[in-house]
Amino acid sequence: MHIDDLLKKSSEWLKGTGPKANIVISSRVRLARNFDGMPFFNRADAASRNKVLEMAKRLKEKSKYLKGSEFLLIKGMPDIDRQFLVERHLMSPEHMILPESKGLIIDETEIVSIMINEEDHLRIQVLQSGFNVMEAWRVIDNIDTELSRNCNYAFSPRLGYLTACPTNAGTGLRGSVMLHLPALSITNQVGKVYQAISKLGLTLRGLYGEGTEASGNFFQISNQVTLGYSEAELLGNMERIINKIIARERSTRNMFISKDKEEISDKIWRAHGTLKSARIISSKETISLLSLIRLGVDLGFVKDIDMQSLNELFILTQPAHLQKTEKKILSSQDRDHKRAEMIRDRLK
Amino acid sequence: MHIDDLLKKSSEWLKGTGPKANIVISSRVRLARNFDGMPFFNRADAASRNKVLEMAKRLKEKSKYLKGSEFLLIKGMPDIDRQFLVERHLMSPEHMILPESKGLIIDETEIVSIMINEEDHLRIQVLQSGFNVMEAWRVIDNIDTELSRNCNYAFSPRLGYLTACPTNAGTGLRGSVMLHLPALSITNQVGKVYQAISKLGLTLRGLYGEGTEASGNFFQISNQVTLGYSEAELLGNMERIINKIIARERSTRNMFISKDKEEISDKIWRAHGTLKSARIISSKETISLLSLIRLGVDLGFVKDIDMQSLNELFILTQPAHLQKTEKKILSSQDRDHKRAEMIRDRLK
């Protein structure tokens, strides 16, 4: 499998399937794991880091779950490919800088990916379409169990899994759910949601994780606490709270239909008209307008576009995806033209 | 002829015909005339004002030119009809307030209209499509000559025609040309035009004359000076200067095509998309967007709309026109819905 092959098909998590896919884009679970007896990445020298990379490679080769997957080195990879993998949510933005000794395992469906030598030796990720945290957990738990049979993880009976940053210690687990909350955003309720979930051990961030701005009304909710509870407790708690947010988004969308139908349909149809007409469009504007169309599909206004095509457009219009589709490096200005062209073409 | 009949057809000046109609919407000439021996409107009592109204009515009845035209009293006329006549440029906004003793003569083609007891006893107007000042002058001069045979105008051999406001004395003539200058506006050259023409005895104003804001990049250029030159000199001077402005607008539009094609087509197509999609739209936004479409038709981008339909939309989407079309009084909010509906319907 070559990275370019990924472009030809849609990631599993973009399919717009899975429970509550009209509000929840995707569910992700990741586990932070480190090899016993090896210094953490930030304390390790080059030799030790390379040894970790080697150990991960051998682990992959022995794994049944990772059989069809690819082992990639970040070093030597073109910038555009790194950016492409970040846009597809297969690795973190942090993993693409200082590529020395860094690796990435990805499976064909893009459900499973493992970053090697990011902050921890291994960051295992499972990404599912829709509201599917428990299914993601089931998959990652199986992979983790299999991997642990062929290596020794750094583990303390008292603290659980040991991690480079103490905030990840214990289960090493982070569940993240990417929500599309246009109704709560338009009615200025996101601040309230943020305050409420912060008190409940969860956090809310933008589209590409830590430190990124929420764009197009997409938000990631993750657990902050990793220690003192079982994985099932942590994810169950998260599911319960997110179900309440989903219900709130749902009822606000319904309120639009019953009370502000004209106003919201005006917003949605204007976005539709602009996307179908613009000749120059930035990535940021694209995301906000597609966000409104996505709401329009859910509310039944927009009938000529399906959820999967929409989800794909969010990714395909990102800079690296656009350039890989065009098979050349484009200036920011040229990208804005090509992006508008691609959108018009796909919405025709 | 009833006012409602006007709605069924297009005004002559909206036809988008006549010289340079891609830049010049219409050309207007008006003459201020007062009856000899009668006090000016602002000094007259009710009896005298009513007598002027009677004199005007008799003048109309004797006129060959005004044979097919209608004599209307502003008093008793519904507000919506008054607003409607202002929107069609058949009378000034000032003429609709304090309707006592005020009259209006309009001919079927809407080329000729005469306000009675506006600022002067008679304000005769001829309105033509395109850049047609001299033709408008020819028509109004004939009417004026005919009317003067059946009455005595207030006239001084030294000052010429006497008017309520001294700025109109002499010829009593004002030529106005309504220009669509989107290219000069977008490139911020209108200020320069304003300064240049002010020094040459001309003035520049918005869509509905004195004190109104320039909207949608439409500007009226009129002569300031009325005294000391012949009518032909005044209008000839105006024509010469406006021809230079037209040439500048033309060359700037051409520059868009050669240098900023993508940027300008993006602006135009976005306007097109918004007009075809919006569910709620204000009159002001409509004018700015239609203005861009008009430019798009001229530049050859937009091919599915003709100039006349566009010119008509500018008027049909005005508040009174919209309400007369819908045959009911609408709140501002309802108008914004109906306006969007009408535009979508007509651009389909």
Q: ipTM value, please give it.
A: 0.85
A217 and A193 together in one domain: yes
- Choose among B262, B274, B276: nearest Cβ to A279: B262
How many other C-beta atoms are found inside a 10 Å radius of the C-beta of residue A172?
A: 26
Using 50, 70 and 90 to split pLDDT, how confident is the model at B136? very high
B219 and B265 together in one domain: no
- Choose among B262, B263, B276: nearest Cβ to A273: B276
Using 50, 70 and 90 to split pLDDT, how confident is the model at B210? very low
* Mean pLDDT for the stretch of residues A240-261: 95
Which of A195, A223, A253 is the C-terminal boundary of a domain? A253
A189 and A104 together in one domain: yes
A98 and A239 together in one domain: yes
Note whether B265 and B302 are within 8 A (CB).
no
Which positions in chain B touch A262 (Cβ < 8 Å)? 279-280, 337
A237 and A273 together in one domain: no
B210 and B96 together in one domain: yes
3 state DSSP class of A243: helix
Higher local confidence (pLDDT), B124 or A194:
B124
B10 and B110 together in one domain: yes
Distance from C-alpha of A340 to C-alpha of A336, rounded to nearest angstrom? 6
How much is the pLDDT for A40? 97
0.90 surpassed by pTM: no
Mutate to test the interface with A, among B261, B262, B270, B338 (most CBs of A within 10 A): B270
B269 and B195 together in one domain: no
Q: Which amino acid is at A67?
A: K
How many other C-beta atoms are found inside a 10 Å radius of the C-beta of residue B102?
A: 24
Query: Residue A143 sits in a domain of what CATH number?
Result: 3.30.590.10
Binding-site residues on chain B for chain A (CB distance < 8 A): 262-263, 265-266, 269-270, 272-280, 337, 340
Mean pLDDT of chain B, nearest integer? 92
Cα angle B168, B170, B173 (rounded to 5 degrees) comes to: 55
3-state DSSP helix/strand/coil % of chain A, to nearest 5: 50, 15, 35
Measure Cα distances from A270 to A40, B202, B314, B334 in Å. 51, 41, 20, 18
Asked if B280 and A266 come within 8 Å (Cβ–Cβ), the reply is yes
How much is the pLDDT for B22? 92
B225 and B282 together in one domain: no
Which positions in chain A touch B269 (Cβ < 8 Å)? 277-279
Range scoring the smallest mean pLDDT among A8-17, A33-42, A104-113, A220-229: A8-17
A59 and A158 together in one domain: yes
How much is the pLDDT for A210? 47
Query: Nearest Cα to A90, choosing from A148, A7, A20, A33?
Result: A7
Q: Which domain holds residue B78?
A: 3-253
Residue B280 is given by DSSP the state S
Which of A221, A253, A285 is the C-terminal boundary of a domain? A253
A281 and A216 together in one domain: no
Residue B213 has pLDDT above 60, yes or no: no
Mean pLDDT of chain A, nearest integer? 92
* Mean pLDDT for the stretch of residues B119-123: 97
Query: Nearest Cα to A165, choosing from A220, A238, A94, A244?
Result: A94
Please state the domain count of chain A: 2
Which of B195, B218, B253 is the C-terminal boundary of a domain? B253
Distance from C-alpha of A306 to C-alpha of A291, rounded to nearest angstrom? 13
Beta strands in A162-280 (DSSP E): 173-180, 202-205, 218-223
Mutate to test the interface with B, among A269, A333, A335 (most CBs of B within 10 A): A269
* Mean pLDDT for the stretch of residues B45-66: 96
Distance from C-alpha of A122 to C-alpha of A89, rounded to nearest angstrom? 16
Residue A134 has pLDDT above 80, yes or no: yes
* Mean pLDDT for the stretch of residues B244-250: 97
Task: Kindly state the percentage of chain A with pLDDT values over 70.
Answer: 97
pLDDT in tens, A295-335: 999 999 999 898 888 989 999 999 999 999 999 999 999 99
Within 8 A by CB and 6+ apart from B144, the residues are B31, B33, B124
